[in-house]
A and B are shown apart, each in its own frame.
Chain A
Amino acid sequence: GNSVTQMEGPVTLSEEAFLTINCTYTATGYPSLFWYVQYPGEGLQLLLKATKADDKGSNKGFEATYRKETTSFHLEKGSVQVSDSAVYFCALSRVNRDDKIIFGKGTRLHILP
């Protein structure tokens, strides 16, 4: 079946550090891949997405590349800020109308000033 595995947190970094949050997936067919961010007490916001192999999604300095050969979609940012502290969810979805969005367990990120 379809599943998403992401690195367990919490991840604690100092401001301006380099960030990587690993995400791998298992899926039949060709899923779309997403990263969502959840700030404290809020719902999820789409951070970036990629819909086919080798696509790179990017937003707010975050990037992730759809790697079909390694079934991965790792999230990276070159220089994190305190305001990036949140929970990050990797997710996949297929194109069919009724297909579910499958989430990873989430990775809590703490950025220290």
Chain B
Amino acid sequence: GAVVSQHPSWVICKSGTSVKIECRSLDFQATTMFWYRQFPKQSLMLMATSNEGSKATYEQGVEKDKFLINHASLTLSTLTVTSAHPEDSSFYICSARAGEHTEAFFGQGTRLTVV
């Protein structure tokens, strides 16, 4: 199947700093990318949907100024957690989908710990 690479796989940062997470589709062009957040032993919560070249669409309750999403090319989307706080600690997962398919391919996830 198609490959989606997410980097880094884990990161520890200090409170108040910003962290950038990258999501790349390695062998296909991803017109749509999704960012999810997963709390321990819970399901994936969709944070936002991004389409290449346009602004991301955020789900209700997700702060767009805190979770900055950029989808500048058909193979790369980034999620930046700005001014991170301990409550932002979580497992963040991206997925990517080519325009003509419904199947989405997932990255391996990034575990963010804010101390």
User: CB within 8 A of B49: which of A36, A49, A89, A100?
Assistant: A100
Interface size on A, residues (CB 8 A): 24
Instruction: Please state if B95 and A104 are interface contacts (CB–CB under 8 Å).
Output: no
Bound form: Cα–Cα A36–B93 in Å: 14
Is there an interface contact between B95 and A89, defined as CB atoms closer than 8 Å?
A: no
Q: A101-B104, A105-B42, A106-B42 are in contact. Are A43 and B49 (CB under 8 A)?
A: no
Listed residue (B32, B103, B107) with the most chain A CB atoms within 10 angstroms of its CB: B103
Interface size of B by Cβ–Cβ distance < 8 Å? 25
Within 8 A of B (CB), among A75-113: 89, 93-95, 97-98, 100-101, 103-106, 108
Q: Give the distance to chain A from B19, nearest Cβ to Cβ, in Å.
A: 18
B103 surroundings in chain A (CB, below 8 A):
32, 34, 46, 49
Is B42 in contact with A45, judged by CB distance below 8 angstroms? no
Q: Looking at the complex, which one of B51, B102, B106 makes contact with A32 (CB distance below 8 Å)?
A: B102
List of A residues within 8 angstroms of B53 by Cβ: none
A38-67 interface bits toward B, Cβ cutoff 8 Å, 1 = contact, 0 = none: 000111111001010000000000000000
The verdict on A104 contacting B43 (CB below 8 Å), with A46-B1, A97-B31, A98-B32 known, is: yes
Q: Is B105 an interface residue (CB 8 A)?
A: yes
Chain B residues lying within 8 Å of A36, measured Cβ to Cβ, are: 106
Contacts of B77 in A (CB 8 A): none
The residue from B46, B99, B104, B106 contacting A97, defined by CB atoms under 8 A apart = B99
B93 A43 Cβ-Cβ under 8 A: yes
9 shortest interchain CB distances as A-B pairs:
A43-B108, A43-B109, A44-B106, A105-B43, A32-B102, A43-B106, A93-B102, A106-B43, A103-B44
12 contacts between A and B (CB under 8 A): A41-B109, A42-B109, A43-B109, A46-B103, A46-B104, A46-B105, A93-B104, A98-B57, A100-B34, A100-B49, A101-B104, A108-B41
